[in-house]
C-alpha cells in the first residue's frame, strides 16, 4: 500500500491539492496525529481495496515534530507500506498576499510578529521535509487549473490511470444529461422504431444494432466521430480533466442512441480507453420515435 504525504507551506494550496487528489481516487485525511498512523494503515489494509490510495495532509498546524511523522511512516514498512511526499510551496510574497486577502492568521504567527516573519519561520521548519520530497509544486503565480494539471501530470500519469469516459445513451424526450461534456444528436440516422419487429427491441439487441450500423451514413458518421474524439481526448487530458461524459441522444433513448453509444464505447475500449456504456432511459416508455 502506498501513502502520499501532502505537506508544505500554509497558504500554498495544500487543501486545494487534496481536493484534486480526491478526483484522482485518493482518500484524503487532514492532519492525522502520527500516533494513529499505524492503526489507520492497518484499517486501510483490512478494507480489501476500498482505501488503496490514501493521501495524508500534514503541516505545522499539528504542532508536532515531523521527525515523529517520519518515524511513524518508516514503521509502516513492516506492513509492506511505502510513502511518497508531495510538497506544495509558494514565494514568501505570494503567501503574505494570500494571508492579507483572506485576513487569516499564519499558524506560527505570534504577537508582535509580522506575516512575513511567520512565513519565513515556517519555511525553516519545513526545510528537512522539502529535502525529502518526491514532488515539489510551486503555486506562486499559478491558477487553480494549472495546479490541477500539474498534480494530474505528476501523479495520474505515473500511476498509469486513464481518464474515465462515460458514454451515456439518452432520449431527448427526457432531457439532456446534466453531466454531459459532449452532446451528440443521432436523430438523423435510420430509425428502427418504424420496423415492426425491431420496435420493441433496443440497441443492445443484435437485430437493432445491425440495422442501424448497416447503413453507410452510420459507418461514415462513426469514422468522423472517432477522428474527432481522438483529436479531442488528448486536449482534455492536457487540461487535467478527471473524467469525460459523452452523451448520445435520439428521441426516446432506446434504439439509435444506444446503438451508437455501444459502438463508440467498443471503439474507445479497443483503443485502450477506460470507457463504459450507460443506457440512461432504456427502462422508460418505448413509444417514442
Element (DSSP H or E) covering residue 57: strand 53-57
Give me the pLDDT at residue 113, please: 87
For 84-107, the pLDDT digits (tens) are 889 999 999 999 998 888 878 888
CA distances from 204 to 62, 81, 129, 198 (A): 55, 44, 55, 11
SS3 helix, strand, coil % of the chain, rounded to 5?
45, 20, 35
Question: How many angstroms separate the CA atoms of 78 and 67, rounded?
Answer: 18
Domain spans in the chain, listed from the N-terminal domain onward:
2-156, 165-279
Residue 39: name the closest of 10, 6, 13, 75 by CA. 75
Q: What grid cell was written down for 272?
A: 485502450
DSSP category for residue 76? G
pLDDT at 160 over 50: no
192: nearest Cα among 179, 205, 183: 205
Beta-carbon contacts of residue 190 (< 8 Å; ≥ 6 apart): 211, 212, 215, 217, 218, 256
Class of domain 2-156: alpha beta
pLDDT in tens, 30-67: 887 777 888 888 888 887 767 878 898 887 766 666 77
Q: Is the pTM of this model over 0.85?
A: no
Amino acid at each position: 500500500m502506498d501513502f502520499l504525504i501532502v505537506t508544505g507551506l500554509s497558504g500554498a494550496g495544500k487543501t486545494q491539492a487534496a481536493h484534486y487528489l480526491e478526483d484522482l481516487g485518493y482518500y484524503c485525511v487532514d492532519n492525522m496525529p502520527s500516533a494513529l498512523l499505524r492503526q489507520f494503515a492497518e484499517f486501510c489494509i483490512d478494507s480489501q481495496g476500498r482505501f488503496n490510495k490514501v493521501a495524508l495532509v500534514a503541516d505545522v498546524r499539528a504542532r508536532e515534530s515531523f521527525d515523529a511523522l517520519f518515524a511513524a511512516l518508516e514503521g509502516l514498512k513492516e506492513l509492506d507500506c511505502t510513502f511518497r511526499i508531495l510538497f506544495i510551496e509558494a514565494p514568501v510574497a505570494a503567501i503574505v498576499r494570500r494571508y492579507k486577502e483572506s485576513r487569516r492568521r499564519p499558524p506560527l504567527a505570534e504577537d508582535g510578529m509580522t506575516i512575513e516573519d511567520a512565513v519565513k519561520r515556517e519555511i525553516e521548519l519545513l526545510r528537512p521535509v522539502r529535502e525529502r520530497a518526491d514532488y515539489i509544486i510551486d503555486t506562486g503565480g499559478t491558477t487553480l487549473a494549472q495546479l490541477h494539471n500539474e498534480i494530474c501530470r505528476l501523479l495520474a500519469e505515473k500511476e498509469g490511470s486513464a481518464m474515465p469516459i462515460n458514454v451515456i445513451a439518452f432520449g431527448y424526450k427526457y432531457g439532456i444529461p446534466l453531466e454531459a461534456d459532449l452532446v451528440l444528436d443521432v436523430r438523423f440516422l435510420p430509425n428502427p422504431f418504424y420496423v415492426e419487429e425491431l420496435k420493441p427491441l433496443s440497441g443492445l439487441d443484435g437485430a437493432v444494432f445491425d440495422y442501424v450500423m448497416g447503413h453507410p451514413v452510420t459507418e461514415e458518421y462513426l469514422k468522423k466521430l472517432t477522428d474527432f474524439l481522438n483529436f479531442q481526448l488528448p486536449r482534455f487530458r492536457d487540461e487535467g480533466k478527471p473524467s469525460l461524459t459523452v452523451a448520445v441522444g435520439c428521441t426516446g433513448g432506446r434504439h439509435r442512441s444506444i446503438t451508437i453509444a455501444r459502438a463508440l464505447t467498443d471503439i474507445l475500449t479497443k483503443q485502450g480507453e477506460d470507457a463504459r456504456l450507460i443506457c440512461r432511459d432504456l427502462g422508460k416508455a418505448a413509444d417514442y420515435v
